[in-house]
Amino acid sequence: MSKAESDGQHLARLLETELQGKVALRRVSYSDRELADPIAKGRLVASLESAKLVVALGDESSRLVLGEVENARVYFVAASASGQTLRGGSVSCLFTYSAEDLLRALPEKAKRGVLVLYTPGYEPLLPEIKAAAAKAGAQVTAKSVAGRRQLPDAVRDTEDMTKAIWVLGDPILDEGASFEFLTERALALGLPLMTAAAGRVARGAALASVAAPESLTRRAAQAIAALAAGGKAGGLALAPAGGPIIYNAALKDRLGLSPRAPQWQKAQ
Amino acid sequence: MKRTAFLAALASLALPTLASAKVTFTGYGDLRYNAGTQFTLEAPPATLTRLGTTGTHATSRGFSANAIGLFASTQVQEDLQFLMDVTFKNIGSSVDDLSLQYAYLDWAPAGEAHVRGGRVTVPFGYYNENRFYAFQRYEITPPIFQSSILGLPIADWGVSGQDKFRFAPFTVEASAYVVNGYGSQSNQPTALRSISVLGGLTLSRNLHSTDNNHKPSGGARVSLQEIGGQKVETGLSYYGGWWDSSGLEPMYMLDYHLHAVYKGFDLLFETLHLGVRGDTGFQQSLGSPNWTTDGGFANLSYGELRVKGKTLAPYGQIESYRTRPNNGDSAREILRSWSAGLALAVSPQLTFKGEYLRLSYMLTDVASAGSVSLPADIVQLAAVVTF
C-alpha cells in the first residue's frame, strides 16, 4: 500500500470516529484498475453524483471528483488544489496545509517579502493568509494569475521585492510547465518556493506543510456536521497549525532553512 | 499498481436531494484491423449441398469497428442503481448488430449482497462476467466456442442474486439466478443448434436466449476467492432449463473455472460440459438428438513487462471442444484454436494489440456422410479505447 493510500485510510478512520453517532457516512474506495474500467467507473461516478454530500479525502480523490462529479455538493479535505475548476452545488474545501506553519518556517529575511500567487477562486484564502502572516511576522503580497501565460510576468513584475514565492496549489500553477518555471526562477533568484502539495518538494520546491491528521479531521468533522444540519461549511479554509513541515534537504543551506525536529521532515 | 483513495458519501436527512438522478455515461471502442484472414471451407459435394453452401478458399483484409459500447449508470436511490449497456457490433459500412448487452436494476441491500433484475449477465463461469469486454482482457479474440457458439455475453432476462461470505483463509461468493433461458431457433422450433439455420453454413450465434416456454431456467455458481490471501479463485457453475417450446427438452451446462495471478502471470482455465436432449437441428449432423459438448480453454498472460513505462503484455490462449452424440459414437464436432499476441497499454484508456490465431473446426455430418473442415489463420491488430 502506498503512503497516499495509508494516509487516506487513516484520515477516513479519524473522520468516521469524529462523526460517529452524529452523521451517517458511507465509505467509498476505488483503485486505478476500476477507474480504467468504464463500467466500474460509471457506477462509481453515478453513486457519487447522487450523494447528498461527497467528502473527498486527499489529492487523489479530489482529482477524481474535480474531473468527474458535476452536480453533487463536495467537501474536499486534505486537498492541495481547488479553484475555478469546481462547479455545481459544491463546494467547500479544507486544504492540507497551514499558512501559519509555512510562514513561520521561512528564514527571517524571506519573511519580509512573500509573493502569494493564486488563480481566481482562491480569494477566500487571502484573509486567513494575511492573518497568519501577521502572527508569523511576515509580509505578504498577493497576486492573482489568470493562467499559465500570465505567470512569468506576475513573477518578474515583483522580483525586486520578492524574498519568497508561495503558490496556492491550483494545478495551473502548481504542475507541469508552470511548476518547472517557478522552480527554475526561484532557484536562480535564491528564493524559497513554497508549494501546496508535499510531493512537489522532492521535485524542486523548498517547503510544504502538511496538517496533523487529528486536528484536520476535527475541523473537517465540524464543517461536515454543520453541513448535515443545513448550514454552510465555510468555503475554503486552510488547515490548523501544528503539523509537519516538509523541506528540501538539498536546498537547505542555499536558502538558509533551519530544520527543527521533530516538526521538520525531509522530503522523500 | 493498485492505488486506493477514500471518499465518503454523506447520507443525511438535513440536506435536500437532487430532483432527478443524473445518468453517467462511459463507453469503449474496439477498433480492428484484419491484417490477413485466410480460411478454407472443405466438404464433399453432398455435404455442401445439404448445408446450402459451397466450398471456398477465401482471404480478407480490412478495417472495422468490432464493437462500440455505451454504458449508462444512474443511482436511483442510495442502494439501487440502474445499469445499461448498448453495444454496436460488427460495424463496417453499416451496423450489423445492435445489442442490449445488459439492462438491470442492481439492489445492494446490505454488505456485499446484490440482487439484480432485468437483462442480467448470468453468473456462469469466470470469463462471461470478467473478460467479455475488450478492455477487460489482453487477447483480441475471446475463446471461440464460448463467444461464437454459446454466445458471449451470456445474458438473459431474469433475476440474479449474489453475496460474499468472508472467512479467514478464503472468501465464498455464491450466486443464483432465474432467467428465460436458451431456446430454439426462431424458424426451427425443434432445433436448438443447427449449422444450417439460414439456408447456409452458420457456426456462430448458434445458441441464443429466448422466452420459449412457460418454464424458466436457472442456475448457481459458488466460488472460492482470495484463497490463502492470494489472488486465486476457483468455482463451479451450473445452468439448467428446458429449451424447446413444449418445455420438455432439457439443456444443462456445468463449468469449472480457475483464475490465478502470481508475480505478474495471470492464468485463467475454464472447462465446460454442455448436455442437450431432443435437438432435431443438430441431430442431422450428429446422428442423435441428444448430445454433449466437453471442452475448455486456458489463457496465460504476463502483465509486469514494461517498455518505456508502458505495460507490454504477452499472452497465449488455447481451446478445445468436442461434441458427441449420446449414442456412444465418437465426437463429431471438434473445435480447436490457439492464439498468441501482445498488448501494449499506452495509457489507462488506450491499449494496442496484435494477435495471430489458428482455428481448426471439423464436423462430421451424418446426414450427408461427409465431413466439414474449416481451418483458418487470422492476423489482427486492435486498438481498444475506453472513455
Test the A interface: residue of B6, B15, B384 with most A CBs within 10 Å: B6
Share of chain B above pLDDT 70, in %: 91
How close does chain B come to A66, measured CA to CA in Å?
Answer: 13
- What are the pLDDT digits (tens) for A16-29? 898 888 888 888 88
CB contact under 8 A, A54 and B5: no
Lowest mean pLDDT among A94-103, A172-181, A255-264, B194-203: B194-203
Looking at residue A109, the DSSP 8-state letter turns out to be H
Residue B223 amino acid letter: S
Contacts of B20 (CB under 8 A, 6+ apart): none
CB contact under 8 A, A26 and B11: yes
What pLDDT is attached to residue A25?
A: 82
ipTM: 0.87
Residues from B contacting A (CB-CB < 8 Å) are 1-12, 14-18, 21-28, 71-75, 77-78, 81, 83, 85, 133, 135-136, 348-349, 386-387
What pLDDT is attached to residue B203?
A: 60
Name which residue leads in pLDDT, A186 or A24: A186
Give CA–CA dist A258/A255, Å, rounded: 9
Give CA–CA dist A98/A14, Å, rounded: 19
Give CA–CA dist B91/B62, Å, rounded: 12
CB contact under 8 A, B8 and A29: no
pLDDT at A46 over 70: yes
Nearest Cβ partner for A25 among B8, B17, B21: B8
**Predicted confidence band of residue B7 (pLDDT cuts 50, 70, 90):** low
Question: In the predicted model, what is the mean pLDDT of chain B?
Answer: 89
- What are the pLDDT digits (tens) for B135-166? 999 999 999 998 888 887 889 999 999 999 99
- What are the pLDDT digits (tens) for B249-297? 999 999 999 999 999 999 999 999 999 999 988 888 899 999 999 999 9
What pLDDT is attached to residue B294?
A: 97
- What are the pLDDT digits (tens) for B287-321? 999 999 999 999 999 999 999 999 999 999 999 99
Output the DSSP codes for B179-230: E--EE-BTTBTT-SS-TTTTSS---SS--EE---SS--EEEEEEEEESGGGS
pLDDT at B22 over 60: yes
Q: What is the mean pLDDT of residues B102-125?
A: 96
